[in-house]
Structures are given as structure tokens and as C-alpha cells.
Amino acid sequence: MPSNKSVSDAPIVQFTNCRILRDHRLQREDLWVREGKILNPEKLFFDEKGSADVQLDCKDSIIAPGFIDVQINGGFGVDFSLATDDFKSGIDLVSQKILSHGVTSFCPTLVTSPPSVYHQVLPQISVRNGGAHGAGILGAHLEGPFISKEKKGAHPEHCLRTFEAGAFQDLLATYGTLDCVQIVTLAPEMRRSSEVIRELTKRGICVSLGHSVANLSQAEEAVQHGATFITHLFNAMLPFHHRDPGIVGLLTSDKIPAGRRVFYGMISDGIHTNPAALRIAHRAHPKGLVLVTDAIAGMGLAPGRHTLGQQVVEIDGLNTYIAGTKTLSGSVATMDTCVRHFQEATGCSVETALEAASLHPAQLLGIERRKGTLNYDSDADFLMLNDSLYVQATYIAGEEVWRQDVSGM
């Protein structure tokens, strides 16, 4: 059989002296990368008779898949729910800045807004690969406006909507387009929500349950129709009750269709969820936990007044409230902070904490063959971290896109 050497003349990079997160454990082996993909060294040696063109000493760092944030409303002064003339430059800024926090792919999230905002903003969001310009965009997450008035949280009540007779057409008219949409959060107790869930799922869009007063049977019915995610578990839903645990009960429900896994987002910022609640959820359903930041425009900025779509919010330390109230409105936590807090709060392994921000969101979106792992042939989006899980460098498609300043600044 002829050698595959002629397949590519692209340089092969070998990352040495590292511990790689693969198959749910840190393994002491080298990482081989070519043309943005992770190589199988056995095939390289035996089929291609190839060897490394470049060797990089990782100095005993952990190498883990890049983080994927499926719920981020903005950051660094940029609000994804505001229709501005320079929206594209805003999304570019956020995608650049989150590289330092280990995020290599994300879903820009819009909170409940008037139809005019969706019609202006969504055509400006396009799915794209990451690179030196910033983290990759996987598609938009539309959180609302088809949510419960009682559990609206920081969403403006005057923009909330219900499904009328032509439910799916209502949704299309509200959003204007679904071309770039990856996730839709809705309240499953709403009339006609089942047909909407079925239609969205048919189109490959992930349906998430949130901002809801649904009971457990309504939540189970939504999952049977195709819903696979829960938006920020415990927040903006009925509290757990032993006779009807509501949406929270999906974590241990015996009515989930065979072969289906329900995932759930958690804002592990030390504010939104008590560490004990984080531990309860993780121990009940560890393989479904997806860390999200739910970050707002004020992430990365000084305390003060900022926006979240149609609302003014106030940052006080790590707390973010709708101005003049004590209603929590998103977070200012970065993804690497959430990973460290999750690991500390639950006492879980380093591997588990890292997978909650990489493998699990990739599985949720059905992209685990490309993202969220360091398996052979997957995209070479990865991080170098120290043992305390601080990001030292971020790579996308095998190229270094961010590195910690050696001075530690």
C-alpha cells in the first residue's frame, strides 16, 4: 500500500511533556497536530512514516479541549441583545476577549427582545470557525420571548409572547430567521409548545426548557417531543418540591426516551447557585451538567450600570441586578472562573470539571466528533492549564491564539 506521506506537506507539531485529557482521564502522552486536526501518532508513524516538524515543550501543563459557552449574553461592554450599527465589531471584540478565559467556541445569546431587535441582530450573526480573530461562533441562543411571566427573571415583561394558533409561524415571525440559531429557550407549559418543540428539533435546533413554571409531567412531555436542555437549572423555575419536583425532576426522571440524555446548564459563579445545590445536581446527574457563564455586557468591566437587552442592570461586586431591584440578571463570571468554582464546590476531579465546560456542551449540540474532545481527527481547539486550572495558553485549529503574559500580568 502506498505511503500517505503525499497526503499533506503541512507541518506536524508535537506537544510534549504534558498531560492530555482523553477518555475522561489525564494521560501522560504527546499531542500531535496537523492542519488544525489532532493526529493519531500510530498512523503517522506506521502508515506515513512521518515525524514531527516542530516540537513544543508544554512544561508539564494540562492540555484540555477548549471551553464551549452555550449561554453568553455579551461582555466587555458589548450586549448581544442591542441592535447597534457596529454589532459585528462588538461580537468580534467579545470573541477575541474570551480567548484568554479558555473559550474557543460560543453561542451568542439574546434575551427577550422586541421582534425588531431579532430582525436586525440575527442576520448579523453567522456561524464561523475560530482563529486568531477570536472564538468560533456555533450559532445563536435565543432565550425567550416565549417564556413564563411568573419566572421572567431579568426579561422585560412587555416583550414576552405566547404561542397563538399558528404557533411555529408566530415564532418565525418573531425571530425573522432561524438560519443561524442553535438553541431556543422556551417555557414548555405554554399552550402549543409541543408542536414548536417538534418543529425546532426537526430543523436541528436544540430546545431548552427555562424561565418556566412547568411541572414535571409537562417537562417530561417536552423532552419526549425533542427538548434536550435545561436553561440555568434552579434559576427562573419552580423550586424543587418533593411531590412535584418540576423541571429539576428531569435529572432523575424515568420517562426520558431511551438513548436520550437531558443536559442542564449551571451558572457556577458562587452567586446564582449555592454550592450545596451545585453538589446535589452534579451527584444526581453528572453526565448532563454543562457549565455556562450567562455573562452580560458588564463582564470584564468595573462595577456600575450596564445593559442587558431592554433593561438597565447594576453590578455590585459579583452580583448583577436589574437596577433598583434585587432580581439577578446574568453574571459577570468568566468560564475559567466557573470551572474552578465548580471543581472547588463539588470536590469533583479535574477531568470532570474540564469536561463540564467542553465535552458536555459539545455533546448537547451534537458536535462531539469535532469539538469538546482531544480524540484523533477532532478539531485541535485546546488549552494549556496549570494544576490550579488557570489558562496559560489557548489554541484554535492547532494555532496559538492567546498566551498568558510571562510577567503574569
Residue positions forming the annotated binding site for Zn(2+): 143, 211, 232
Selected catalytic residue, list 269, 294, 379, 381: 294
What value, to the nearest 5°, has the Cα angle with vertex 308 and ends 303 and 314?
30
Q: Which residues are annotated as a binding site for substrate?
A: 154, 235-236, 243, 272, 328-330
Q: How distant, in Å, are the alpha carbons of 116, 198, 278, 394 from that of 384? A: 42, 40, 26, 7
The answer to whether 179 and 142 are in contact (CB under 8 A) is no
Q: How far apart are CA 150 and CA 263, in angstroms?
A: 24
Q: Which residues are annotated as a binding site?
A: 143, 154, 211, 232, 235-236, 243, 272, 328-330
Pairing of strands 382-385, 391-396: antiparallel
Per the annotation, the verdict on 170 as an active-site residue is no
DSSP letter at 396 equals E
Which residue has cell 440575527? Answer: 122
Radius of gyration for the chain, computed over Cα atoms and rounded to the nearest angstrom: 21
Burial of 84-105, coded b for 16+ CB within 10 Å and e otherwise, reads eeebeebbebbbbbbbbbbbbb
Which residues are CB-contacts of 401 (< 8 A; sequence separation ≥ 6)? 99, 130, 131, 132, 134, 394, 395
Q: Which residues are catalytic?
A: 294
